[in-house]
């Protein structure tokens, strides 16, 4: 399912969402530039800044490995990868930023990315496959949307069934989370938590982190009405 837009009205310009999208696109453009230059520069850049669980655990302080917990969120492995992430962030992030405010939203986004990485590391601490992409942090944004706007409608493209159909947000997001969890368990049964190169558990970890942080923010009255 591909979300096309939501029906939730926003009252403020989504500055941070826009800047995060630009940051992801900008870093990807730099990756492409390195690739076009040849010499393996792009591979070295990705290797140095992607998150590798086994490498991180083996040398937390070695050459700033802890920084990869943050830098991996802005790396992407292809055009479809970066555009898909940016589109999901645009559809769901604007409304979440509108309710959290720009500064709280930025901190929320980064912490969700950390929560996503943490679960993936816990599930497969010996993995040597580089983990990269904003999917974990964006999954946290989806978790926040689930808490804040469960009755909103998501206009969704559903291939092979109905071309375009409005779906309640809570239905869309429950189905999305279920897909991540099922694929995550399937990858574990195959002996590879990053099944098909996708860090399913990072998606689930980001979503749960986003739900928990948003409920906590609501309890502390940090969410705008």
One digit per residue, the tens of pLDDT, for the chain of length 225 reads 899 999 999 999 999 999 999 999 999 999 999 999 988 899 999 999 999 999 998 876 676 789 999 999 999 999 999 999 999 999 999 999 999 999 999 999 999 999 999 999 999 898 888 899 999 999 999 999 999 999 999 999 987 766 888 999 999 999 999 988 888 777 666 655 554 467 888 999 999 999 999 999 999 999 987
Q: What pLDDT shows up at residue 95?
A: 97
Spatial CA neighbour of 141 closest among 7, 9, 16, 13: 16
Q: How far apart are the first and last CA of the chain?
A: 30
The structural domains of the chain, with segments of one domain joined by +, span 2-219
Secondary structure of the chain in the HEC alphabet? CEEEEECCCCCCCCHHHHHHHHHHHHHHHHHHHHHHHCCCHHHHHHHHHCECHHHHHHCCCHHHHHHHHHHHHHCCCCHHHHHHHHHHHHHHHHHHHHHHCHHHHHHHHHHHHHHHHHHHHHHCCCCCCCECCCHHHHHHHHHHHHHHCCCCEEEEEECCCEEEEEEEHHHHHHHHHHHHHHHHHHHHHCCCCCHHHCCHHHHHHHHHHHHHHHHHHHHCCCCCC
For domain 2-219, give the CATH number. Answer: 1.20.1540.10
The CB density around residue 125, as the number of other CB atoms within 10 Å, is 13
- What is the C-alpha separation between 3 and 133, in angstroms, rounded? 19
Rounded-to-10 torsion of CA 190, 194, 200, 205: 110
Query: Model's pTM, two decimal places?
Result: 0.93
């Amino acid at each position: 399912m591909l979300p096309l837009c939501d029906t939730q009205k926003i009252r403020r310009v989504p500055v941070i969402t826009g800047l995060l999208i630009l940051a992801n696109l900008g870093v990807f453009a730099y990756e492409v530039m390195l690739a076009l230059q040849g010499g393996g520069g792009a591979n070295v850049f990705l290797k140095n800044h992607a998150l590798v669980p086994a490498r991180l655990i083996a040398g937390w302080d070695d050459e700033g490995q802890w920084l990869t917990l943050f830098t991996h969120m802005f790396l992407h492995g292809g055009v479809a990868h970066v555009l898909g992430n940016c589109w999901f962030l645009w559809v769901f992030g604007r409304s979440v930023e509108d309710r959290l405010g720009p500064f709280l939203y930025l901190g929320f986004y980064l912490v969700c990315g950390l929560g996503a990485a943490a679960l993936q590391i816990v599930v497969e601490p010996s993995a040597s496959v580089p983990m990269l992409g904003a999917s974990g942090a964006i999954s946290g944004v989806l978790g926040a949307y689930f808490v804040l706007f469960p009755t909103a409608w998501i206009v969704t493209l559903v291939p092979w069934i109905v071309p375009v159909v409005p779906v309640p947000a809570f239905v869309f997001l429950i189905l999305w989370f279920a897909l991540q969890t099922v694929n995550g368990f399937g990858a574990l049964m195959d002996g590879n938590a990053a099944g098909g190169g996708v860090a399913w558990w990072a998606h689930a970890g980001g979503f749960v982190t986003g739900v928990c942080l948003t409920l906590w923010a609501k309890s502390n009255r940090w969410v705008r009405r």
